[in-house]
Structures are given as C-alpha cells and as structure tokens.
Structure 1
Amino acid sequence: MLSILACGSLFFPGLFYGLRKVLKSTFTHWNDADVVAVSERLVSSVHASLATVSGLVVVNTCQNVMTDRHWLVDSFVLFGAPYMLYDISAMYLTHYHQHRLGTSAAHQNHSLQTVKAFLRKERLLVLHHMALLLVFMPIVLFFRRGLGDFFIACFWMTEFSTPFVSLGKILIQFGLENSKLHWINGVMVLASFFTCRILLFPYMYWRYGRQFDIPLHSVPFHLPLHCNVGNLSILAPQVYWFILLVKKARRLYLRKGNAQGPKTE
C-alpha cells in the first residue's frame, strides 16, 4: 500500500518537473507562465487517461455491479491520491506565474495574498480535489466493505473529457483558438463531457436495475438515501460545468460569426 502511494507521489510531480525542463529547452521563447501551464495540462491529461483506461478495464470485467472485485480499484486510488495535492500545487504555480506577467507584479514573490487570490479563483476545483482526497479515498479503501468496484470505475471514466479540455486550453495558448482543430476539439469537449460526466449516472442506475430486474425509473427508490444524495452531489457540479462549457462555446461561435461579418457581392 505504501509503495503504491510512494510511486504516485514521485510520478506526478516528477513528470511535471520533467515536462517543464523539456518545454523550457524546446520552446525557448516561452515564458515561465506558458511552460508551467502547458506542463500542468499535460500531466492532467496523463492522469485522466490512466483513470479512464483503468475505469474501462474494471467496468468491462465486473459482471456483478455490487460484489465483483478488481485489484486495480484500490491500487489506482492509492496511486492517484497524491495527484490531487500535486494538481492543487501545479494550479497554484500556473496562477502565480500568470499573475507575475503584469508589469506591477513582475517581481512579486509568493505571499498569502496570491494564495488567497488563487483559492478564490479556483475554489470549486480545489474543493473537488480535497473532497476526493479526504472523503472519496477513505470510503473506497476502508468503509465500503469490498462493494461497488464497478461504480468506482465508472467515476474514473468521467476523466475522459479532461484531455480534450486541456488540449483546448493549449491551442488557445498557441493562438489557434480560431483554427479548425480548436473547433473540432470543442465539439469533442462537449460530447465527451456530456457522455461521461452526465449520461454516466443514468447508465450506472440502468446497469444496477438490469442486474436486479428493476425498471430504470424505479432504481432510485431501491437504493439507500445516502447513495442517491452522494450521486446527486457529484452530478450537480458536472451539470454546472457543462452549462458553463455550452455558454462558452456559444460565445465563441457568435464571436466568430460576427468577426466574419455578412458576405457582400
């Protein structure tokens, strides 16, 4: 258990450090903010890819959604736990270097003020990471009595949209926000987010109902209240973030249409 935790503690910060070195030497015209931001997003994509693949493996293995076990579940929870603390640190570094780009803040050092500004800006993501670390991880490892590997793996598959979100931010950073690739990636962001972060919940209820011969609309009434409340508490921010993504996509589409203007003969 400790060895797996140690591997995760070394892997994610080590990958971040290595990517910063490579990007800094490869793209010599980039500033520190660019290097840190791209490195953070690449590591985030790696973690998301590992989580998605692990989730697919477990979901396709578990026939009984309640009792079937897979060794990947506890192992990946331990391996991925350090990522939560690492990612908060990496997000803070991105915020810090971007803040220093301003003329008046060019020589500003780390301070309580910059930490507070970061927490105000990224409060939802920080809360999300800490909840996974302090609530989700102990439940998975110690309190679920070996039940529900299938459902935990389903939650991992919500990370499928993360690489597309990261790629979109990287394309903007390269000045390619008006490119066809950015448009295609935006469609993939919306499709993957809606499929793996919203439709995933009725899929889990459907799999449970199919196993116990319960109609989908009746499944919530056959589950303990805390299961429904827990699912709702996870689903709610996903719906909120999806609405933000749709609004952003609509603004970009309208801005692009206005920039092109009406055609004249």
Structure 2
Amino acid sequence: MELTFTKARHHRTLMCALVACNVGALVIAINLVIGLNPEDRISVKRGAVLTALGLVYFVTLFELFNVAALFTGAGARFRHKYRLSCGEVLDISNKLVSAVQAAFSCATGAIVCAWSCTRDFMRSSHFMSEAYAWFGAAYFFYDIWSMYMVYVHMTTNIDYFKTKLRRPSKSEASLSSGDAVVTKRPSFFTYCRHEPVILMHHLFIGGFGFLFIIYLRGGLGDCAFGFVYLMELSTPLVSLRGVLSRLGLKRSRAYVVNGLAMLLAFLACRVLALPYACLLYSRAVGLPYFDALKSLPTGCKISIGILLLPQLYWFYLMSVGAVKVFLRKSDKPPAGDRTSDKSAAQFSELSAGDADKRS
C-alpha cells in the first residue's frame, strides 16, 4: 500500500514538472515576441532561443500525454476500455501533439495572411512568419524522434514506460509481461528505411523550409508562407482519424463524418492552397497565371513541386480509402483494405506538414 502511494506521488510530481516545463516554455516564447512591431525581424539569438523553447514544449507535451495515459488511474481505465498497448498509447500521443502544432501553425498563417496579403503581396511581412519558423522547426525534429519511439513500441514487446523510471532486472530485460520474449529493439536506420517519405518530408520542411523563410527569400514578403502555414488546417482531422482508428471506432459515424471533413479540408488547404497563392502572385505581377509561374525562380518552382506532389499522392490515398468505406458491403473488410489502411495510416502520422504522420 505504501509502495503504491509512493509511486502515485512520484507520478504526480512528474506530471507537475512536465506541466511546468511545458507551460513555461510557451509563456517565455510568447513573451519573446509579443512586444515586436508587425514588420520587425527575428534576430538569430532570439530565434535560437525560440527553437530551444519549441523543442522543450513539444517533447514535454508528448511525455505529458504518455504519463497521463500510462501512470494515472484514469489513463489505466481508458487503456483497458479500448485495449490499448503501450505503442498505441504513444501513437495517440504523437497524433495529439501533431494537432496542437497544427493549431499553432494555422494561427500563424491566419495572422500572416491577414497582414501581408492585404498589403503589398511582394514585400509586406509579419514577424510571426519568422517567429514560428524558428519555434516550429523544432517540432519536425522532435517528431522524427517521436515517430521512431512509436515505431519501436509498435514492433517490439519492450514496455519502455514501465521501466523508464527504474533499471530493469536481467529477467525483466529478457522477458515482457506474460513471459513473451522481447523483440530486439530496431535501430533508427531501420526506421528510416521503413518511413522514407515521412522522414524526407520532415527534413525538407524543418531544414530547407526554415532556411527559405529566414534567409533565402531575400526581401520578398510572406503572404505565400501564410498559405503554407494554413496547410496544417487538415492535420487535426487527420490526427483524429488516426486516434479513432486506434480506438477501434472505424465503423462509427464520427469516423465517417471526420473522414469527409478531412477530405474537404485537405483538398482546400493542401491541394488548392499553393495554386491559389500562385494566382495571387500572378495578379500582383500583372501576368497570366502560367506566365507568372514561368517567371518564378527555378528554386521556387522546385520547392512548390516538392510541397505539392506529396499532397496529391496522399489525397489520392485518402480518396481511395474513403471510396472503400462507402462501398464496403459487409462488416468484415476485404483483405485488400489492409494495404490501403496502412498507407493512409502512414499519412496520418504527418504533421506539415504531416505535412504528413504528422504533412
């Protein structure tokens, strides 16, 4: 009884520490930029602090969701009700963090578009564009680690969070609950080979996308970047789809309704947003649409292609999955559905941008 009480108190202390770190990182980040004028630039020193705070924020948020699900009574009842494994809990936590990041990104995009797109399309900028580029870049590198942890616990019997706070004995290191032999922990490079598209997407957005917004765009405005931020509007729906799937609610009305809303949001924000931004550019320079596209620097055209082509691919996968849901004639899904479900599940891990798990 005393041991149980000590563990409960330790877990409450851990949750309080995670909450303090998480809220503190966000508050400090907001205080760093809230006093700036709209067209101020973010210095490298200020930006580096924002990136560090972003890393603390997203990591502690992920850990907070996991501790709440794995170490509390309410979390235990939730896991028991839906029969969730440790890996499935981590996967749900990853999707929840993706949804939070998407909300921040959309708020940034709305502010940037409201300011820059209503002024000079080519030159007007808002500090939020650079500020969130610094803060949000940390998310994509955190998410690579987070998705790797999900992959480890979904493919092995290692119960990481049960042994996280103490050193396991030799017998526990070789056996999991139920005397099942623990599968060898896959390496990070094994994960990279398993999820190359998502990994490259995260590296591109978190690396090249960050550099373009901060340095490579020169004196150009950030109206177009506002639309890139707004591409994340579909991510909460994608995350909810993944969570409902993990909870075994794929036959529910909520899953169907969310799927339709996800398709519409994805079409508007991921597929049509960049072409619309190009339309605004063509109007700003006074050229026909395709002539305006031709006038763009080669690097811009390549970047648009890298951003847009994966969205078209993922939208195709989602559309195929939606058609199968509506055409399914029996409660038992055909064997072929498993492949498309797996592909769509890989998409739902994006965040973007997944930008895809999690775009």
Q: Same fold (TM over 0.5)?
A: yes
* Secondary structure of the structure 2 residue equivalent to 1:140: helix
Q: Distance in 1 between matches of 2:191 and 2:326?
A: 29
Normalised by the size of structure 2, how large is the TM-score? 0.67
Q: Distance in 1 between matches of 2:184 and 2:139?
A: 25
**Residue 137 (structure 2) aligned to one of 81, 101, 117:** 81
Q: Distance in 2 between matches of 1:139 and 1:123?
A: 23
**Residue 195 (structure 1) aligned to one of 255, 268, 273:** 268
Q: Distance in 2 between matches of 1:5 and 1:240?
A: 31
Larger Rg: 2
TM-superposed CA distance for 1:138, in Å, is 1.7
Match of residue 61 from structure 2: 15
Letter of the aligned partner of 2:131 in structure 1?
S
- CA RMSD for the aligned pairs? 2.0
| Residues 101 and 177 of structure 1, relative CA distance in 2, 3 Å threshold | farther
Q: Distance in 2 between matches of 1:92 and 1:104?
A: 25
TM-superposed CA distance for 1:101, in Å, is 4.8
**Residue 31 (structure 1) aligned to one of 85, 90, 105:** 85
TM-superposed CA distance for 1:3, in Å, is 1.8
Residue 158 of structure 2 is aligned to residue 158 of structure 1: no
Q: Distance in 2 between matches of 1:11 and 1:218?
A: 44
Cα-to-partner distance string for 1:199-233 (whole Å, 9 max, x where unaligned): 11221111112223333343213322332222122
**Residue 318 (structure 2) aligned to one of 218, 221, 245:** 245
Letter of the aligned partner of 1:191 in structure 2?
L
Q: Distance in 2 between matches of 1:80 and 1:60?
A: 20
TM-superposed CA distance for 1:248, in Å, is 1.5
Whether the 8 Å CA contact 2:110–2:226 is kept in 1: the answer is yes
| Residues 23 and 222 of structure 1, relative CA distance in 2, 3 Å threshold | same
| Residues 27 and 140 of structure 1, relative CA distance in 2, 3 Å threshold | same
| Residues 10 and 210 of structure 1, relative CA distance in 2, 3 Å threshold | same
Match of residue 223 from structure 1: 296
* Secondary structure of the structure 1 residue equivalent to 2:263: helix
| Residues 18 and 202 of structure 1, relative CA distance in 2, 3 Å threshold | same
Letter of the aligned partner of 2:287 in structure 1?
I
Match of residue 108 from structure 1: 183
Letter of the aligned partner of 1:70 in structure 2?
H
Letter of the aligned partner of 1:53 in structure 2?
A
**Residue 152 (structure 2) aligned to one of 96, 100, 106:** 96
TM-superposed CA distance for 1:133, in Å, is 2.3
TM-superposed CA distance for 1:104, in Å, is 10
Whether the 8 Å CA contact 2:113–2:226 is kept in 1: the answer is yes
Match of residue 258 from structure 1: 330
* Secondary structure of the structure 2 residue equivalent to 1:66: coil
| Residues 179 and 239 of structure 1, relative CA distance in 2, 3 Å threshold | same
Match of residue 51 from structure 2: 5
Whether the 8 Å CA contact 1:69–1:146 is kept in 2: the answer is no
Whether the 8 Å CA contact 1:100–1:106 is kept in 2: the answer is no
Whether the 8 Å CA contact 1:20–1:39 is kept in 2: the answer is yes
TM-superposed CA distance for 1:240, in Å, is 0.8
* Secondary structure of the structure 2 residue equivalent to 1:108: coil
Whether the 8 Å CA contact 2:157–2:182 is kept in 1: the answer is no
| Residues 13 and 241 of structure 1, relative CA distance in 2, 3 Å threshold | same
TM-superposed CA distance for 1:142, in Å, is 1.9
Residue 171 of structure 2 is aligned to residue 125 of structure 1: no
Residue 265 of structure 2 is aligned to residue 209 of structure 1: no
| Residues 4 and 107 of structure 1, relative CA distance in 2, 3 Å threshold | same
Match of residue 178 from structure 1: 251
| Residues 254 and 120 of structure 1, relative CA distance in 2, 3 Å threshold | farther
TM-superposed CA distance for 1:134, in Å, is 2.4
Whether the 8 Å CA contact 1:206–1:216 is kept in 2: the answer is yes
Q: Distance in 2 between matches of 1:186 and 1:34?
A: 20
Normalised by the size of structure 1, how large is the TM-score? 0.90
Match of residue 263 from structure 1: none
- Report percent identity of matched pairs: 28
